[in-house]
Structure 1
Amino acid sequence: MPRPTARPALAAAAVALLSAFPAVPAQAAGAHRAAPGCATPPAPDRPVAETPWPQRRYAPQRLAALASGAGVTVGVIDSGVDRRHPQLAGRVDAGADFLDPGGDGSGDCAGHGTGVASIIAAEPRVGVAFQGLAPGARILPVRVSEQQVVEGRESGRTVSAVDFARAIRWAVDHGADVVNLSVVLYTDDPAVRAAVGYAVARDVVVVAAAGNLHDGGDPRPYPAAYDGVLGVGAIGPDGRRADFSQTGPYVDLVAPGGEVLMAAPGQGHRRAEGTSYAAPFVAATAALVRQYRPELTAAQVTRQILATVDPAPGDGSGGGYGAGVLNPYRAVTETGAGPQGPARRAVALAAGEADPALAARQARRAAARDRAVVVAAVAGAAVAGTALLAVVLPRGGRRRWRPAA
């Protein structure tokens, strides 16, 4: 059986989460290895065969024929991602470790990042109903914390806010098309704000958890509150805002975040709750849209997601639902969405650094766009030819002639 539901520290802690510890150098270029052994290794979990409620809501099999997130890289800046899990094997790239120098982001002592990554990209497997919403996407893990809850208390190291900002920039520079930030600071740090602006300026969709401190007075959460970021609140299986999910203008939309099933480090599955786990549903949707509509910019992807949400239950008052409830299928399939995106304007903060991934990413999207144009032209010609035959052949029959063999 999965462990009891837990609301993890990464999206519930105060500013100390990312600023109480000294800075740690980032990994050396070209060095790739797992993090050292965990002081408190995560307990093993068993596989869960039953269908989790978010999948009953979103029916990923309907999306599979349209998009899987293939060709899109999602940066998961978190506690690391365990690539040994059977549903993540072969889907996790070599990343970076800003907590232990030289690591590649594949060590996960908290289980948090592995769970987040699995909601995005876990591979379907026989006998297991759980799968990621964008199973064709690549995961780029960037490790910034090993914090977990031990005997009811938060325990473990985290990086400084400055290194958290460096981690965001690293993910952008190494090809992330979408960045998932299931971490929360409750102070406006200029380095983090500039790093988010760096990502927005380089056409990256940035998704962040809106925080779990509703009972604590809804302190303003960052990066969710920054311009250009999709701030995500949580709903439970009943479709209503989870009682812990924060409310405020920084909530742009909501997604499943209560009693969510996810992969556990090593193997098996577990359930947990928090806006941490609502954010990756939105990040996965962004990956689906980026594959299906490669011509869209990050800002347009954001507008598309917000314009295709489902209405919030009741009157949705109180700022807890934002624009409404995430609907991945509508986000992928609907065109000509009307609303112009979140009320918070998206700003690009110039940073001046070189961007080695930008040219490659733009070339990839240009190639995909060219392929889409060719396919559309061929399809259009086929339709026109069929229509012409439908008109000409009956007339030819009346004139007693047939097309040449």
Structure 2
Amino acid sequence: MKIISFQRGMPFHEILTDLQKKVMTKTERLPWRCYDDWSCLCIKENIYEQHCEHFRRYEAMVEENVTVSVHAQTENEDEIPWGVRYVGAERLWRKGRGEGVKVAVIDTGISRNHFDLKGRIKGGVNFVRGKQNGHGTHVAGIIVAEMNQRGIVGVSPEAHLYDVRAFDHEGKSSLSTILQALQWSIANQMDVINMSFGMPQYSEALARAVEKANEHGIVLVASAGNSGGEVEYPARYKGVMGVSAIDQSGKLASFSARGKGANMKAPGVEILSTWPGNQFKKLNGTSMAAPHVSGLMALEIGRKRNKKK
């Protein structure tokens, strides 16, 4: 459609009569819509192109039929962080979003009132008291941030998250507390346990806890470590998915541990996720890589369950 405005003061009706004689044919019925009061008409694009020389005689202004929008604010959409896109979560969502899969996050605690998390947190336990830091909240968002037209979305946005706090505000814990956290997760029948932490030395007790979780069919995911050297424990244990960090180009991050025990790689550089105070923040680390894999495992478990229904 073309919109044509004739010069003010020109005899609009005489112009129309002249154009009708030259433009209108038997096959070109009602080729235009007229607005007499302001000397304008709208004409079909093909008719204008066929007879444009007649319109040009009148030195008229010709405009395109542009799109016009109301000044309403459109509803926000969830941002899909690059890591979630990278692991192919959007494609996998067609077969389920991890609905009902139980994921324990053994960490520094989670901001349970964050608008992108509160609907996904279904329980948990505190083995440590006092002030939290944002590490656990960040890890949680990567796994389960909700599809709620706000903030971001996680890898498995319909999974059920369990906040298992075992670390203090400085990100420190003890082996005995970690054992408690694993025992609780086993007893409460978690499907996936995310462990974005590590220590350099082998522990027989921790190895046995890992073995027991495996016997119960729990998927264990752990960060490889940020030393740039050898993979730490528990990622290094058999039966644990040890995850190294990569950047947006798919290259192993310089800080990421590597080698034996690092059997998976996932995004861990400039990862946007939830942060206390209904905020969002970008962090680097294998701690960010591991929850991408935990989310993928939740999606896989959910798909298998859906097939059995």
Q: Quick check: TM above 0.5? A: yes
Asked if residue 79 in structure 1 is aligned to residue 108 in structure 2, the reply is yes
What is the alpha-carbon distance in structure 2 between the residues aligned to residue 283 and residue 225 of structure 1? 16
- Give the corresponding residue for 1:193: 207
User: Normalization by structure 2: what TM-score?
Assistant: 0.71
Displacement, 1:85?
Answer: 0.5
Deviations 1:174-215 (A, max 9, x none): 12100000011111122211111110111000000000001x
* 1:236/1:157 CA distance change after superposition, 3 Å: closer
* 1:187/1:175 CA distance change after superposition, 3 Å: same
Asked if residue 53 in structure 1 is aligned to residue 82 in structure 2, the reply is yes
Displacement, 1:284?
Answer: 0.6
Give the secondary structure class of the aligned counterpart of 2:95: coil
Displacement, 1:160?
Answer: 1.7
- Are the aligned partners of 1:259 and 1:273 in contact in 2 as well (CA < 8 Å)? yes
What is the alpha-carbon distance in structure 2 between the residues aligned to residue 219 and residue 195 of structure 1? 22
* 1:71/1:127 CA distance change after superposition, 3 Å: closer
What is the alpha-carbon distance in structure 2 between the residues aligned to residue 72 and residue 232 of structure 1? 21
Deviations 1:345-401 (A, max 9, x none): xxxxxxxxxxxxxxxxxxxxxxx6652xxxxxxxxxxxxxxxxxxxxxxxxxxxxxx
Displacement, 1:162?
Answer: 1.6
What is the alpha-carbon distance in structure 2 between the residues aligned to residue 127 and residue 289 of structure 1? 25
Asked if residue 225 in structure 1 is aligned to residue 270 in structure 2, the reply is no
* 1:127/1:83 CA distance change after superposition, 3 Å: closer
- Give the corresponding residue for 1:266: 277
- Are the aligned partners of 2:80 and 2:153 in contact in 1 as well (CA < 8 Å)? no
Q: Which one of 151, 166, 189 corresponds to residue 144 of structure 1? A: 166
Give the secondary structure class of the aligned counterpart of 1:109: coil
Displacement, 1:126?
Answer: 1.9
* 1:234/1:48 CA distance change after superposition, 3 Å: farther
Displacement, 1:253?
Answer: 1.1
What is the alpha-carbon distance in structure 2 between the residues aligned to residue 207 and residue 239 of structure 1? 20
Give the secondary structure class of the aligned counterpart of 1:191: helix
The residue identity in structure 1 corresponding to 2:157 is: P
Alignment of 1:91-110 (within 5 A): 91-100=120-129, 109-110=132-133
- Give the corresponding residue for 1:385: none
Alignment of 1:386-401 (within 5 A): none
Displacement, 1:219?
Answer: 3.9
- Give the corresponding residue for 2:259: 248
Asked if residue 184 in structure 1 is aligned to residue 198 in structure 2, the reply is yes
* 1:370/1:213 CA distance change after superposition, 3 Å: closer
Deviations 1:265-317 (A, max 9, x none): 120200000000100010011000001013xxxxxxxxxxxxxxxxxxxxxxx
Residue-pair matches, total: 234
Displacement, 1:51?
Answer: 4.7
- Give the corresponding residue for 2:137: 114
What is the alpha-carbon distance in structure 2 between the residues aligned to residue 191 and residue 177 of structure 1? 21
What is the alpha-carbon distance in structure 2 between the residues aligned to residue 173 and residue 181 of structure 1? 17
Structure 2 unmatched runs, 5+: 1-75
Alignment of 1:125-140 (within 5 A): 125-128=148-151, 130-140=152-162
Q: Which has the higher strand share?
A: 2
- Could you tell me the percent identity over the aligned residues? 36
- Give the corresponding residue for 1:36: none
Stretches (4+) displaced over 6 A: none
Deviations 1:14-64 (A, max 9, x none): xxxxxxxxxxxxxxxxxxxxxxxxxxxxxxxxx997653223434543332
* 1:249/1:84 CA distance change after superposition, 3 Å: same
- Are the aligned partners of 1:77 and 1:141 in contact in 2 as well (CA < 8 Å)? yes
Displacement, 1:125?
Answer: 2.8
- Are the aligned partners of 1:122 and 1:132 in contact in 2 as well (CA < 8 Å)? yes
Q: Which has the larger radius of gyration?
A: 2
- Are the aligned partners of 2:78 and 2:147 in contact in 1 as well (CA < 8 Å)? no
Task: Note the aligned Cα RMSD (angstroms).
Answer: 2.1
What is the alpha-carbon distance in structure 2 between the residues aligned to residue 184 and residue 160 of structure 1? 11
What is the alpha-carbon distance in structure 1 between the residues aligned to residue 88 and residue 307 of structure 2? 27
Alignment of 1:271-350 (within 5 A): 271-294=282-305
